[in-house]
Amino acid sequence: MQGCVTNSFPQKRFFDAIREVPDAERVIDQTTIDTRKVPPYRTLR
């Protein structure tokens, strides 16, 4: 999962739910709450 989320986004609950999906072999959290930082993933810019 890649992108920016707000401070109030329930990250733990969200990623725990994704891990419960039967076809999800791996869950990689590449989210950030600080929009001033370089994202933890490659961008098109």
pLDDT tens digits, the chain, 45 residues: what are they? 888 899 999 999 999 998 899 998 888 888 888 888 888 888 886
Element housing 2 (H / E) = strand 2-4
| Residue 11 to residue 23: CA distance in whole angstroms | 20
How far apart, in whole angstroms, are the C-alpha atoms of residue 43 and residue 11? 22
- The answer to whether 25 and 37 have CB atoms below 8 angstroms apart is no
What pLDDT does residue 41 have? 83
pLDDT of residue 19: 87
